[in-house]
A and B are shown apart, each in its own frame.
Chain A
Amino acid sequence: MNSIIFTAAARLLVALLFVFSLFMLLRGHHLPGGGFIGGLIGAVAFIVYSLACGPAEARKALRITPEVIAMLGLGIALLAGMFSFFMGDPFFTGQWYWVGGDSYDTAAFSVNTVLVFDIGVYLVVLGGILSLTYAFEEET
């Protein structure tokens, strides 16, 4: 696509969409959102970029091939699930650590495996969708 308006707007849109995707990922556990929807929005950001500048340029911007991103995401999600092994809980049981308090109400923030799992999902979705769309774009 060779439209100067779209190319100029794409730069702004991509940054905005990408930040929004991270926002959706992070607000995930207690409010609507999460890794899946975040990953989709993140993928849209890169798809917009590839429409504006071509898939070759978009691949360069991504630095890592999307398949590897997806596989890394799978690995991260698996590790997050396996972590409960060390705590003696069944697979995928969320582990929560409160910083600056001892519960959701008092703590400043929490460190938990649920978010790690969501990050894994985010990467799987981002990588999966991008590998598909790039493959399609490059073939046509």
Chain B
Amino acid sequence: MSWVLVLPIAVPFATAVVAYLARNYAAGRWISLAGSGLSLVVSAVLMVAVLNEGVIAAQMSNWRAPFGITLVADYLSAVMVVITAITGLATAIYALGEIPEETERLGFYALFQVLIAGVTGAFLTGDLFNLYVWFEVMLIASFSLLVIGGGKDRLDAGIKYVALNLVSTLIFLSGIGLLYGVTGTLNMADLRQAVAQAENQGLITVIAMMFMVGFGVKAAVFPLFFWLPASYHTPYFAISAVFAGLLTKVGVYALMRMFTLVFVGDVGFTHEILLWVSVLTMFTGVIGAAAQSDFRKILSFHIISQIGYMTLGLALFTPLALVGGVFYLVHHIIVKANLFFVAGLAQQYAGSTDLNRIGGLYKSAPLLAALFIIPAFSLAGFPPLSGFWAKYLIVKAALEIDAWFIAFVSLLVGLLTIFSMTKIWGMAFWKPHPDGIDPTPDRAPARVTRAMIVPIAGLAAMTIVIGFYPEPFVQFATTAAAQLLDPTDYVTTVLGVQP
């Protein structure tokens, strides 16, 4: 049983080792692709196991919980692992087209696989210190991936990204230290009881806020998001996409996990703060996007704004809101990664991502235009695409508890998102190219564009499927949210498993 949980982490690591040894040969990129495919298979196996049993847990090295490291997967973890594998596979295909050979020789694919392993590990671990370790695995890989390939803008972006992420990690680490001092355990399931029984509840709330700040920087919530728009528009598009899709979501996942499982003693205080943080995140993100005129910078600011919706789902803390939050998380990873992929292909065709310097893509690349429309409208929340259901659930949850203002802001932000998306549409696709040239697909070699269009089409198809048949996905999110709100299963599975 335990191997179902280990393999989604072990496969990317093994792929990283082999891909690094083969980095000087063409085989390296195919190994990475095969490894990503295998990751998807083992993640699907994990998903099936979770669907059959609800929650599964495994104790590493046969050390009984809460003493050893526990890996645990409930519905939320399982779906995050699967979506990570899907994004990983899409990026591995996309990278075949985009990444130049010199970068491959530096070990690009190995770093990429380590990043995926780190993200997957963070989703599966049931131990707080282990979560810290996975964060670091993920960070060190992402630092290298961000600056790989050189360029002054990448170095500049790297400094800002590295600096703020290191600070957030240290706040998180201090929080772990204090929490261990109060409760004497770091196993998340065990912490639930230990935190509830702790004498000094005031200190627990302080620690909860430290975690909120630590994870908040990772998730890029207001007012801790400044590193994100400073860095996400500089690396390779494949890397931008995987960062945009996955890295901030690890922060959101960690918030969701800790603030449903462990820190639920003072919901009125902690979740109220998170609520206003979410509202401000949504709003500042979308306003920031309106001021930008670069394809990727607009998308970066929209990540921030969308993160607000997810944390809003957590902050409202009703069953329906959590369903919305989980649904939003999954939908957003697919859509946002896809939009960054589209930006990369648009750059290949038209030569830039600066909206003032490109245009005419609709005429010369109608397929790309169609594939942009799907994730863009989904992001803005147009029916019948996946984003509509995600926003609908959140707004409905807000209306249910008579939070009119919050529902109003969510709808307003949706409206402003449409503004940004139509701006990209108008300037990149609709208006003629300012230099009078016709951006043609011929500008890039066919091998490159083919590798890049396949993942875009695949993810767009997923967006449509989720949009037209939301029923099973909403059902799934409902179960996931129920498990989050009542983690009895989680706790008993983790602590009750005998070696």
Contacts and interface: CB of A to CB of B under 8 A. Distances in A.
Contact of B2 (A72, A75, A90, A94): A90
Interface stretch (B53-61, B315-323, B435-443): B53-61
Given A67-B107, A90-B2, A91-B2, A72 B17 contact: yes
Contact of B17 (A75, A81, A93): A75
Interface string B1-17: 01100100010011011
Contacts of A92: 60-61
B301 interface: no
B110 interface: yes
Contacts of A81: 10
A53 interface: no
Contact of B21 (A71, A91, A93): A71
A78 interface: yes
A68 B14 contact: no
Interface string A108-128: 000000000000000000000
Contacts of B13: 74, 78
B60 A90 contact: yes
B94 interface: no
Interface string B97-112: 0000000000100100
A140 B499 CA distance: 53
Interface residues of B, number: 19
B2 A68 contact: no
Interface residue tally of chain A, by bracket?
Answer: 10 to 19
B215 interface: no
A85 interface: yes
Interface in B26-80: 58-62
B341 interface: no
B499 A90 contact: yes
B60 to A, nearest CB: 5
A94 B61 contact: yes
A72 B20 CA distance: 9
A82 B17 CA distance: 15
B62 A93 contact: yes
Interface of B: 2-3, 6, 10, 13-14, 16-18, 20-21, 58-62, 107, 110, 499
20 contacts: A67-B107, A71-B16, A72-B17, A72-B21, A74-B13, A75-B18, A78-B10, A78-B17, A82-B10, A89-B62, A90-B2, A90-B61, A91-B2, A91-B6, A91-B10, A91-B61, A92-B60, A92-B61, A93-B61, A94-B61
